[in-house]
Amino acid sequence: MATGTISFRRKATDRAMKWAFYLCAFFVVLPLFLVFFDLLAKGAKELRWTLLTDLPHPVGEPGGGIANGILGTFVITLLTMLWSVPVAVMCGIYLAEYGKGKFASAVRFAVDTLTGVPSIIMGIFGYILIVLPMKRFSAWAGAAALSMIFIPVVVRTTEDMLRTVPATVREAALALGIERWKTTLFITVRTASAGILTGILLAMARIIGETAPLLFTTLGNQFWQTRLDQPMAAVPLQVFSYAISPYEDWHDKAWAGALVLITMVLLINIGARVVTREKK
């Protein structure tokens, strides 16, 4: 029966396509699990409390940690966000609420381009712009390089999130006799706040793991260093230098450091999830 065969073929195609979609979804998430379990297996050897609390030990001496790197990563990340968040969010607001003309299109194009610039270039840029004139590597320089990665991402997510706020919300505020800037800051931004915060957290997760921009800017440090105008340790830098070293026990530490790093990123991402799930 002709109709029977066609129907059978159509069903089979339908099923095959469905499995193709599923399979691709599976391949997309596979690397995360592979990386995480591989890190767990290889990093476990060096994974102990002192990893989080001790300074690095010299070659051959067992134990030691990446405590200064964890601190440095926190300091540099916070430093970056301290000024990047307001600048990026305000720029996003400009694009979403005011940006209509040629200047806005130019900004949008520039921001999109910046998003695609390889991070090593940001590092070199930070080196030329800050390290050379200051004549030293510093946390400042690292934060400057990281902001150039952070800001464009947050600008675009902020703009996108603000655009999801219905025009009726702005209209309602306008009709209440609320000034435009107050409407924007206290009503439109508030309406989109969960999405904006998620964007900020995801961008934060991204810069926490960035290595290349820090290589030429903060350089790294074997010791405790909290002065912002001095070279500072950071987890990704430690992982990098341990990994390219010729010593077996440093390789193990690189794995453990990578595990710490990916755990931090994972935690931030989970945080972002929680933020969006809360309240509707």
Partner 1 sequence: MEIVLDIRDLNSWFGDNHVLKGIRMEIAKNSVTSVMGPSGCGKSTFIRCLNRMHDLTPGYRMSGEILLDGVNIYSERVDPVYLRRRVGMVFQQPNPFPRMSVFENVAVGLRLNGRSVSRAEIAEAVEKSLRMAALWDEVKDHLSRPGMSLSGGQQQRLCIARALAVEPEVLLMDEPCSALDPVSTAKIEELIEDLSERYTIAVVTHNMQQAARISDNVAFFLMGELIEMDKSGKIFTNPADKRTEQYITGRFG
Structure tokens at 230: 């001095």
Residue 190 binds partner 1, judged by CB under 8 A: yes
Whichever of 173 and 203 has its CB closer to partner 1, that residue is: 173
Residue 182 binds partner 1, judged by CB under 8 A: yes
Angle among Cα 272, 115, 275 to the nearest 5 degrees reads 10
- By CB under 8 A, the residues from 64 to 83 that bind partner 1 are none
Assess contact for 213 and 114: CB atoms under 8 A.
Answer: no
Rounded Cα gap, residues 166 and 188, in angstroms:
9
Element (H, E) at 40: helix 2-43
Q: Give, to the nearest 10 degrees, the angle between helix 102-116 and helix 139-163.
A: 120
Rounded Cα gap, residues 91 and 111, in angstroms:
10
Per CB under 8 A, the segment of 7-15, 191-199, 242-250, 254-262 that binds partner 1 is: 191-199
Whichever of 10 and 190 has its CB closer to partner 1, that residue is: 190
Whichever of 98 and 247 has its CB closer to partner 1, that residue is: 98
Whichever of 182 and 273 has its CB closer to partner 1, that residue is: 182
Residue 179 binds partner 1, judged by CB under 8 A: yes
- By CB under 8 A, the residues from 157 to 176 that bind partner 1 are 166, 168-169, 171-176
Q: How far is the CB of 205 from partner 1 (least distance, A)?
A: 24
Reference 220, options 195, 239, 248; nearest CA is: 239
Residue 193 binds partner 1, judged by CB under 8 A: yes
Rounded Cα gap, residues 185 and 90, in angstroms:
10
Number of residues that bind partner 1 (CB under 8 A): 22
Rounded Cα gap, residues 102 and 269, in angstroms:
36
Q: How far is the CB of 112 from partner 1 (least distance, A)?
A: 25
Whichever of 112 and 179 has its CB closer to partner 1, that residue is: 179
- Residues near partner 1 (CB under 8 A) are 166, 168-169, 171-179, 182-183, 186-187, 190-191, 193-194, 279-280
